[in-house]
Chains A and B, each alone.
Chain A
């Protein structure tokens, strides 16, 4: 089955800096790659996703890049704010189920 590795496990940045989280996946047939943000005591919430026919996607301060050849995808957050502090999960899907990475705890200090 699919295996998703995520790095780093924790990331501390100063407000205004950029943050990058990287993931790799094992199943070359996977074609959908979402990123979820989870705040304490809440369920994960989708923040951005990318499909295998696209190399990059942006939405305001967040962007995702996908390298299908290398089976890598990354989340980029620019101009970080304290409210960006949360746990971020990458995931990969072939059709109907998501396989998640172990998560990255992002801490943005004012």
Chain B
């Protein structure tokens, strides 16, 4: 079956521009996560959704970052007034439910590489 799909795979933008990154999770997965991965680092948690609501957004670095999941499936990560420091790979993941210790596995997409010039 289809895995987690992310678009675009690559995005180059200029400092100050607005960017949207899209994630299509595995069908039936209720939990959806956004992580950010800088070069040579592990994924860093940003936000996760259980259904349509953001259950934990404590990892969002500032108010330029926002994410939505209006129908409980596809999610969009939105970055306003991009800065060079926002350059990274943005990973989306989904799981059957949010209780990882019970249901386990987080399935990751291949990521969207964002470069801010």
Contact = CB atoms under 8 A, between A and B. Distances in A.
B41 interface: yes
Interface residues of B, number: 28
Contact of B105 (A4, A49, A89): A49
A31 B44 CA distance: 19
B45 A34 contact: no
Could you say which interface size class chain A belongs to?
20 to 34
Nearest to A53: B101
Interface in A19-78: 31-32, 34, 36, 41-46, 49, 51-52
B31 A96 contact: yes
Contacts of A97: 33, 45, 48, 56, 59, 100
A96 B55 contact: yes
B104 A96 contact: no
Contacts of A99: 45
A31 B101 CA distance: 7
Given A44-B108, A89-B43, A95-B100, 20 more contacts: A32-B100, A34-B104, A34-B106, A41-B110, A44-B91, A46-B106, A46-B107, A89-B42, A93-B100, A94-B101, A96-B48, A96-B50, A96-B56, A96-B99, A98-B43, A98-B106, A100-B42, A100-B44, A102-B42, A103-B41
Interface of B: 4, 31, 33, 40-45, 48, 50, 55-56, 59, 91, 93, 98-101, 104-111
Task: State the 8 A-B residue pairs at the shortest beta-carbon distance, nearest first.
Answer: A43-B108, A100-B42, A32-B101, A96-B98, A93-B100, A31-B101, A46-B105, A43-B110
